[in-house]
Structures are given as structure tokens and as C-alpha cells.
Amino acid sequence: MPLLEVDDLEAAFLFADRTVRAVNGVSFAVEAGEIVGLIGESGSGKSVTVQSILRLLPSPGRIVRGAIRLNGVNLLDLSREQMRQVRGRRIAMVVQDALAALNPVIPIGEQIADVFLAHTRVKRQTAWEKAVGMLRRVGISAAEERARHYAHEFSGGMQQRTVIAAALACTPELIIADEPTTALDVTVQQQILALLQQARSELGSAILYISHDLAVVTHLCDRILIMYAGEIVEQGPTRTLFRSPKHPYTQGLLASIPSLHGDVQEYLPAIPGLPPNAAALPTGCRFAARCSFVQERCRSHHPELVSVDSHHAVRCILYEATTP
């Protein structure tokens, strides 16, 4: 049984005048201790997928269909209180904008201590000491003193470390990291990625790593899911995906990563156009309008996700034909 199993998830925002179908029939699994990358551009539905897993969709978002199973238990069936005990203890979150995620008027240490107080039977003083320990563990020097500081007194990297410390507090089985390095400069990015890898090796936590940047996740992830317009268009082990990307979208993404080897290209190829409007999705392939291999049938036929290899699946008409 996988640790996390997202099964045919459909999430939508039901506005009065229109319905935005943000996530359409997404299915994937994360095994215990595995690091999975969920890649997609802004608006592809990756963040909504994550918010659905934690059942924290902002209004008027709704999970319309599907199941989200953690060790076989459907999270959608849990009571509010049961779900609260899952958040932060079994599934922890690391967010992109750490400064905005930290309460500006409560000391850093207390915000980590709050996690211990919410999930374990400890006294305030013990929770505080444990929080200081967590700060030390994520590499914040003079943690004792730093714990009394406020978020705005921390650098961007330290803010992100704080958020990771809060996430690791209760040794979660799954860490969801939603673009945790996007706001940071490159050296700090590497430190944060190293911290996450350390969490996996030391705590055995699985990580679902959300990003729009393929280059960042290559070394981190075991497996990669490519999302486009609310559905998964390709998934496979990181190496396979990089060596032989199947979907024209994945190929386009890989081509747009600047290379350190070989000739310097004068122009970096980009995928032309914009993703479709989630309130008015096309009937056929959702990538058709931007695809350079587009065929007549792509406009009317919506392709299924088909296996091209044992762990490699793609949603494209080009590969549908080859399978019986």
C-alpha cells in the first residue's frame, strides 16, 4: 500500500457565475520515503492538488470527486478534528513564502512550539525547549536566543529553515513542499534542498515537492509528475523522464532549461502561448493549442494517460496509437 494515494481527484472553484475546474481526475501515489516532484506552471493545479490533500482549499473551492488515502484511510472521510491531527503531525507543509506564513507578532520559537502543543501532550516549557532544539537541528546558530526573535528579524533563508523546523517537528510521514526555494537565492536554495534530503534520510519522511522549475528538482526527486491544465500529462522516474521525455510539453520544458554543457545557445527555446482558461477548457487535448506536433484529432479527442514503459506514462495521442 502506498503512503499517499490520490485517486481520480477532481477539485473545482464554484464561483457564482462560473466554475473553475482546477484539478481534473488527478491520480498518483507516493511511497513511504519517496521524493516525488510535482511540476507544472502557474495555474496548472499543482497547488490546488496540495491544498486538497490537506483539505485546506480556500473558499469557494470544493473537492468534487475522488479519494485521498493516507495509508489506506481516505482523508476525505475524516472528521474535522481527525483531519487536524493529520495536519502538521502526519502530513506537514513547507510553503513558498515563509515570511508571510510566519505570524509577525509571535516569536519564532513559539510558532514551532505551537506544533508540539497541538499534537503532543507536553507542557509549554517543554514545547519551547523542543522548538529550540528543532531550530538548532535545521542549522540556526544561537538557537536559544534566535527563538525569541520575530520573523522580520530573520533572513529569507532562516525564515525558510524555521518553516522546515515546524514541519519536521512531529516527524511527519509526508512533507509537502510547495516551491520552498522559489523566493531564495541559489546558494540558500541548495541548503534548503539539502535539509529536505536530510529529513528523508534521517526521519524517513516522504516528500511531495511542488515546483515550476524542472532544473531544481532533478537531483532531489526519485520520480516526477508533470501537470498541465489540471491533469497529469506525464509521469515517470526522474532519469527516464530526462532521458526520453515523451509528451511534447515535457520536451518543451526540458528544452527551455539552459545547459551548462555543449554549445551556448543564442536563444533559449520557449513554449509559445499560454495554458487554457480553467473555466473554459477545450474538449480535446489541453496542450493542443501550444503543441508543435498537433494533429487534427488532437482538437476533438481527449487523450488518456497511457503507459509507455513500466513506470512511465504519458497523456498524448502520439503514444495512444502504439498501445493496443
Partner 1 sequence: MLRYTLYRLLLFVPLLWGLSVVVFVYIHLIPGDPVQAMVGSSASQEFVAQLREEFGLNRPLLVQYVDWISGLPAGDLGITFRSRQPIAPLLLARIPATLELALAGLLIALLVGLPSGILAGLFKNSPFDHLFSIVSLAGYSMPLFWLGTLLMVWLGVNWKVLPSQGYVPFTQDPLKNLQYLVLPAFSLGLGLGPYIGRMARAAVIEALQEQYVNYAHAKGLRMRTVVNRYVLRNAMISLLVVFGLNIGFLLSGQIVIEELFNWPGAGRLIVRAVLERDYFMIQASVLIYASIFLAINLLVELLHAYLDPRVQLK
106 counts as binding partner 1 under rule CB under 8 A: yes
Residue choice 21, 46, 119, 161 for contact with partner 1 (CB under 8 A): 119
Locate 22 and state its grid cell. 482546477
Does 46 interact with partner 1 (rule: CB under 8 A)? no
Taking the complex as a whole, the smallest distance from the CB of residue 121 to partner 1 amounts, in Å, to 13
For the segment 57-76, give every residue that binds partner 1 (CB under 8 A).
Answer: 58
161 forms part of the interface with partner 1 (CB under 8 A): no
Q: What is the CA radius of gyration of the chain?
A: 21
CB-nearer residue toward partner 1: 164 or 313: 164
> Which of 70, 86, 210, 220 lies at the binding interface for partner 1 (CB under 8 A)?
86
Q: How many CB atoms sit inside 10 A of residue 320's CB?
A: 15
For 59, other C-beta atoms within 10 Å of its C-beta total 7
Contact region with partner 1 (CB under 8 A), list: 1-9, 116-124, 187-195, 262-270: 116-124
DSSP symbols for 168-221:
HTT--SEEEEESTTTTS-HHHHHHHHHHHHHHHHHH--EEEEEES-HHHHTTT-
Residues in region 121-150 near partner 1 by CB under 8 A: 150
Q: Does 39 bind partner 1 (CB under 8 A)?
A: no
Q: How far is the CB of 202 from partner 1 (least distance, A)?
A: 21
Least Å distance, CB 86 to partner 1, is: 7
Among 88, 157, 276, 303, binds partner 1 (CB under 8 A): 88
Choosing from 21, 46, 69, 87, the residue that interacts with partner 1 (CB under 8 A) is 87
Q: Which ranges constitute the DSSP H helices of the chain?
A: 46-53, 80-86, 98-101, 108-119, 124-137, 143-146, 156-168, 186-203, 214-217, 238-243, 248-255, 317-320
> Could you say which of 14, 18, 71, 100 contacts partner 1 (CB under 8 A)?
100
* Interaction of residue 89 with partner 1, rule CB under 8 A: yes
Distances from the Cα of 220 to the Cα of 137, 237, 240, 302, 317, angstroms: 20, 12, 15, 32, 30
Neighbours of 103 (CB within 10 A): 12
Phi, psi of 184 (to 5 degrees): -110, 160
Q: Which residues bind partner 1 (CB under 8 A)?
A: 54, 56, 58, 84-89, 92-93, 95, 97, 100-106, 114-115, 117-119, 150, 152-153, 163, 166
